[in-house]
Structure 1
Amino acid sequence: MTTTAETAVDAADQAQETFEAAFAQGDDTVFRRLYDEWGTLVHTVARRALGDEFEAQDVTQQVFVAAWRGRAGFRPERGNARSWLLGITRHKIADALAARTRRTKLVAAASQSTPHELVTLPDGLLAQQAVDRIVIQHELDRLSAEQRKVLRLAYYADLTQTQIAQRTGLPLGTVKSHVRRGLHLLRDNLAHSLR
């Protein structure tokens, strides 16, 4: 004979299974409930690991975006939603710590290549500009020589594509291709390096 407590536990387990199955199928109201139920826990874990409120908020958002995008991979039989979300959280925290390390290295490199006063301004704007210059320069160096030359003429010398074609002797179509492909490569490389 089952007790009232056992019946309540079975009902709760069944409700949780129904909830998790609906989430895996893409029910956005269930996703909202998932966030309401576990968002605070995810945020707390991220804040404790990172020691920074803004990074913790960012990680929390990334966790739930990843959960929504990866919901088809959620398998309730392997573990509950809480465990799954905490697993995603651990990965996103590791990514945030790696990005922090990369930023620290870039700031250190910027401080060696720019006057110390520029790096330590309270608003951080000039420090960020120095880091941005170093990152973009690094990514430009990864492009082909012709793409690099065309992009530098376009953005540093502020020349039009027609003027670049005249100055370099390259056909206008080639200049346009170099600009377009070079910008796509820069965008993809920058997105990858800032993850």
Structure 2
Amino acid sequence: MTTAFERFRNGEPAAFDQLVAEYTGSAFAAAVQVLGDPALAEEAVQDAFVRIWQRGRQFDPERGNERSWILAIARNAAIDLLRKRARIPERSIDSVPAVYAMRDPDDTWQAVLASLDGERINQALQELPAEQRDIIIRTYFQGQRPAHIARQLGLPEGTVRSRLRLALSRLRSSLAPAREVIEP
């Protein structure tokens, strides 16, 4: 069975409406996480879906899955909006699951995130080495890009990206029990 995204990429414009319905909740949650403002997040999500409409045929399934690609576009649209407004709000790690919990309760990923409370995420972050934890916080909670972080810290961008990759791998392992919610 083909997904709405595959049908859209194959030239079926009506599938785009289904794609929007399927991913709006997750895209909105990703944008709120970056922006901290639901009104701005709506604007970012709209921009993201315009980009998806324009670039949908550029998606390469060999490089990743459609969900990751769509949510990355939504997150990048939020970061772009944040930069346009020239402000980066401080976010509390404890508030992240609550942002996801306010969206569509049928979304599997929301169920996973709801099962992770802020304390568990904070604990997993505290288990990381300080340099990896700093990169994660700057990237995912402050919306900074690796190149910007590298300049700020005076490190090669490759080092920042390596630390980010290692930190994500450790977090994935540390938060693995949450996968049981989505795996049969």
TM-score grouping bracket, smaller chain normalisation: 0.3 to 0.5
> Which one scores higher on RCO, CA 8 angstroms, separation ≥ 6?
2
Give the structure with the higher percent helix. Answer: 1
Q: TM-score, normalised by structure 1?
A: 0.41
Q: TM-score, normalised by structure 2?
A: 0.43
